[in-house]
Every structure is written in C-alpha cells, then in structure tokens.
C-alpha cells in the first residue's frame, strides 16, 4: 500500500440509501461485495433494495422521526432517485454526510434550474429553452424557438411523462393546460441523429473518472437498449460531464444524457445525480461497474477502472418481458439481472440483460 486514504470509510461501515428501487438494490449488492453494510429508507414494504440489504427503515419522506432513526445508524448517506424531497435530504444530512450534494438534487429536480445551471454555471450547451408559466408564454416560446417545441413540466417528469410536442399556437395553449397548468419549460425540438449518454464519477478527494460514450435507443420514451462503447466517441461527452461534476462539487456517479446533432455537437438533455439505467452494461463489461464506482466515490475509495474489456449491449425487461427469463437464462452469452418485483405491470422495469458483443 503506497496510499493511506485517511478520509476513506473502511469495510464494515454502514451506507444509508434513500429509496428502495432497483438502483438501490444494485447499489446494496455492490456495497456488500466491498464489505459494507447497507440500510435502506423507503416508504414501500418489500422493496427491491430491502430484499438484499441488512436493514430497512420504512417511512414516508416527510417522517422526520423515522428519517432521524435511519440517519443515526449510518456512516454516509446516498439516494437512488432524484425526486427525494430536498427537505428529506437536509433532515438526514445533520447526522451523516450525504452524497451526491443536495445542490445536485435541487438542480436535477427542476428542468429550468437544471438548464440554467448547465448552460450558465457549467457552461455546457443545452437545447434552446424558455420558461413557460401560462398558455401565452407557451405560444410565445413556440414563436421564438421556431416551429416545433417540446413543452415539459419543470418538476416530476420522467420517461416522457409530463411533456408534449407542439407545432401550432392552439396546440401550445392546449398542451400547457393538459400538463396541469403548472410551471413548465419549452425546449426547441431537436432533430437529433442519435441519443447518447455518459456515466462519470467523482470521489470525496476530487478524483474523476468517465466511462466511454453510450448510445441509447428509447421506445415509448423509455430506455430500451444501450450499447457501449458507442461508435464515434470524440471525448466531447466526457469533457462536458467533467465540467458539470466540477461545477457541482459533485461526489458519486453522475449520468448525463445528450442529443447529438448532425454536425456531431452534443446538447445536454438532462442529468441524473445517481447511477443510471444507461450504465447497467458496466456490470458485465469487465470494468468496475457503476454501482461499485458510486460506492467507492461516496466512501472516499480510489475509483477503479472505467474501461470496458468487452463491447456490451444492455436491454431492459419491461412488464411481461420478464416471462422470457427461462429462455434468456438458457443463452450463455446473456447475463440476467432481475429486480425482485412481484407485481408485473406494463412498462414497469422488471430487470435487464447484458449481452457481450463480438467486436
């Protein structure tokens, strides 16, 4: 050992995770491999993460007493979804450090704050956008952004929920009220050539690593497939992600989703202050996977290797795709990851498979 990591948490330390979904489950599994103990905080009984963690505290995100009980028993806190209320994060942060920073949570929760921060503070390009607070704003945004815009609610939108593509004044006004008369942004419709993303990490010592570029295919606004390394990786995405990590003084894994234009330029669509569905390929590609990377980052460990040995394709198993498990299990080139969800619903993320591709 040449380095002594005095700020690192040793094996046996307790990691608290806000959220009980599949990302929490895979974080807990990765933490266990490094000898850490995981506690989950979630409103839901029998959650995917609770099934594999040492302990779970069940409570709503505004239950201050339950949050304190949870936070007193852990050495570091992280979260597995970006809609954890910032007040919840502030309540637990009194008892143990929370990573990624609450600032990242606030930024990612509001599409306007996010676009302002990325374009002005981090100085990374985003699609042209306007704030929209009424039908008249929506109409004006359509005019100033030219021909076709996507109106999105500022908060609580995901997987294409809370957004409408509009091309006429009447559509703009109708879309604003259909979205619930709430604060929105209008974004220029981008005729992208492809959608790509990047997974990057920064640890408590400020060390940064980035993975290669990922190419993503969405179906019905939900991620269907990711391939990494993507062709034509010019390093642009890694540079953008590094600027965002530094601007946020970030600790943990960050995902950045981009639209790529025909001239090759990348525009940020959104950031996720957490491990991300488009990074699941890392589990079977021969490098440190994103879940272990996140655990290493928040516990102050050295970050490990982000270079895959194999080109890998990840495909999501949604709803009844789960029924194909036996067939998939029979394919020796496929690695199956299932989330332990008992209720099968159309479009629900039930698992994913990673396939090693021949180069």
Q: In the complex, what is the shortest distance from the CB of residue 189 to ligand AMP, in angstroms, rounded to a whole number?
A: 4
CB of 327 to ligand AMP, least distance (A): 29
Residues 200 and 245 sit within 8 Å (Cβ to Cβ): yes
Quickly tell me which residue has 């996140």 as its tokens: 294
- Minimum distance between the CB of residue 61 and ligand AMP, rounded to whole angstroms? 22
Min separation Cβ 269 and ligand AMP, Å: 5
Residue among 15 and 186 whose Cβ is closer to ligand AMP? 186
Nearest-approach distance from CB 151 to ligand AMP, in angstroms: 10
| Residue nearer to ligand AMP on the CB measure, 221 or 345 | 221
User: What Cα–Cα distance (Å) separates residue 116 from each residue in 102, 113, 127, 166, 257?
Assistant: 17, 5, 11, 22, 16
Q: 56 and 40 in contact (C-beta within 8 Å)? A: yes
What residue number has its CB nearest to ligand AMP?
190
Q: Round to whole Å and give the CA distance between 196 and 354.
A: 18
* Smaller CB separation from ligand AMP, 17 or 185: 185
Instruction: Give dist(CA 200, CA 212) in Å, integer.
Output: 9
Smallest distance from ligand AMP to CB 152, Å: 6
Work out the burial of residue 234: count CB atoms within 10 Å of its CB; fewer than 13 is exposed, 13-18 middle, 19 or more buried: exposed
CA distances from 340 to 45, 83, 129, 224, 293 (A): 13, 22, 40, 19, 23
Tokens of 231: 């062709």
Give the whole-angstrom CA distance, residue 55 versus residue 278: 28
- Residue 208, beta-bridge partner list: 202
Residues making contact with ligand AMP (CB under 6 A): 127, 150, 157, 160, 187-190, 195, 218, 221, 269-270
Q: How far, in Å, CA of 253 to CA of 269, rounded?
A: 17
Alpha-carbon span 35 to 55, nearest angstrom: 15
Closer by beta carbon to ligand AMP, 165 or else 344: 165
Q: Could you tell me the smallest distance in angstroms from the CB atom of residue 268 to ligand AMP?
A: 10
Nearer to ligand AMP, 188 or 240 (CB): 188
Question: In terms of CB distance, is 187 or 289 closer to ligand AMP?
Answer: 187
Residue closer to ligand AMP by CB (options 96, 183) is 183
- Supply φ then ψ for residue 66, to 5 degrees: -65, -40
């Amino acid at each position: 050992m040449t380095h002594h990591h005095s700020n690192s948490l040793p094996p046996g330390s307790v990691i608290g995770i806000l959220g009980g979904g599949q990302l929490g489950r895979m974080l807990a599994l990765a933490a266990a491999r490094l000898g850490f103990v995981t506690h989950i905080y979630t409103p839901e009984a029998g959650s995917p993460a609770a099934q594999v963690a040492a302990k779970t505290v069940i409570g709503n995100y505004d239950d201050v007493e339950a949050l304190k009980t949870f936070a007193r028993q852990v050495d570091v806190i992280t979260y597995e979804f970006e809609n954890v209320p910032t007040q919840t994060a502030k309540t637990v942060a009194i008892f143990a450090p929370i990573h990624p920073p609450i600032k990242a949570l606030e930024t990612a929760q509001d599409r306007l704050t996010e676009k302002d921060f990325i374009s002005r503070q981090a100085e990374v390009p985003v699609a042209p956008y306007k704030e929209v607070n009424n039908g008249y704003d929506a109409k004006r945004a359509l005019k100033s952004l030219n021909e076709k815009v996507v109106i999105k609610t500022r908060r609580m939108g995901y997987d294409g929920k809370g957004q409408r593509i509009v091309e006429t004044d009447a559509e703009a006004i109708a879309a604003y009220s259909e979205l619930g008369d709430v604060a929105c942004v209008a974004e220029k419709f981008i005729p992208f050539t492809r959608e790509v993303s990047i997974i990057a990490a920064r640890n408590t010592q400020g060390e940064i690593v980035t993975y290669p570029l990922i190419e993503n295919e969405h179906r019905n606004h939900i991620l269907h497939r990711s391939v990494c390394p993507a062709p034509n990786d010019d390093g642009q995405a890694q540079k953008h992600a590094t600027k965002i990590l530094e601007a946020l003084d970030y600790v943990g894994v960050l995902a950045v989703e981009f639209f790529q234009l025909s001239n090759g330029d990348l525009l940020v669509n959104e950031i996720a202050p957490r491990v991300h569905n488009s990074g699941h390929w890392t589990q079977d590609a021969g490098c440190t996977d994103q879940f272990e990377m996140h655990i290493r980052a928040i516990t102050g460990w050295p970050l490990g290797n982000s270079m895959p040995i194999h080109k890998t394709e990840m495909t999501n198993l949604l709803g009844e795709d789960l029924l194909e498990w036996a067939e998939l299990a029979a394919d020796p080139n496929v690695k199956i990851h299932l989330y332990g969800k008992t209720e099968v619903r159309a479009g629900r993320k039930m698992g994913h498979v990673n396939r090693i591709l021949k180069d």
